[in-house]
Structure 1
Amino acid sequence: MSPKHNIPFLERQSYRRRRLIDTIRMLPVIGAVLWAVPLLWRQSEASGTVMTSDAIIYIFLVWLFMVVGGAWLARNLKRSDAEEKERGR
């Protein structure tokens, strides 16, 4: 006989909210990893270095992605909090 596993029941909304908070916490780590990518770029054979302009554009685009992604996640979290308060009343 196998023992019964007690799996806690989590409401769908609170589960999604927790995963959203986890994603927000991981956003700086993801950004740091993406910012380190230009260090791994292969050097061009002609000049022996990576074009600085390419690296700057890439870093700016990662920064822009982080800002837009953070704003979108914060908006979703705010909406989730409002729905939770509304259901609690």
Structure 2
Amino acid sequence: MSPLKELPFLERTSYRRRRLGDAARLLPVLGMVLFLLPLMWASDGAGTTARSGLYLFGAWGGLIALSFAISLRLARIVRAEDGTGPEGD
């Protein structure tokens, strides 16, 4: 049996920065899935075009809000790692 290897220790801030970066990279994939969903809905019935349009604008706004929140958190983490405060920008 081999001796236990020491696992690399990742600091909490660098780990969060990497996970937020991964989330930012997955946003276009999420957007593509959300924008293709109305194509799978049944097109029979009244009001489906209006409902699909409202859904698309809602999904678009949600993606904008989500990307804004991720960018704010990433900027806060990068500032904390650099040691600069909000006035350093």
Same fold (TM over 0.5): yes
Q: Which residue of 1 aligns with 2:58?
A: 61
Q: Does the alignment pair 1:35 with 2:32? A: no
When residues 3 and 43 of structure 1 are mapped into structure 2, their CA distance, relative to the original with a 3 A threshold, is farther
Give unmatched runs, 5+ long, in structure 1. none
What is the deviation of 1:65?
0.3
Equivalent position amino acid for 2:13 in 1: Q
Identity %, equivalent residues: 39
Equivalent position amino acid for 1:57 in 2: L
Q: Partners in 2 of 1:31 and 1:57 — Cα distance?
A: 15
Q: Which residue of 1 aligns with 2:87?
A: none
TM-score (norm 2): 0.84
Q: Partners in 1 of 2:20 and 2:5 — Cα distance?
A: 26
Q: Which residue of 1 aligns with 2:49?
A: 52
Q: Which residue of 2 aligns with 1:83?
A: 80
Output the aligned Cα RMSD. 1.8
Where has structure 1 moved over 4 Å in runs of 4 or more? none
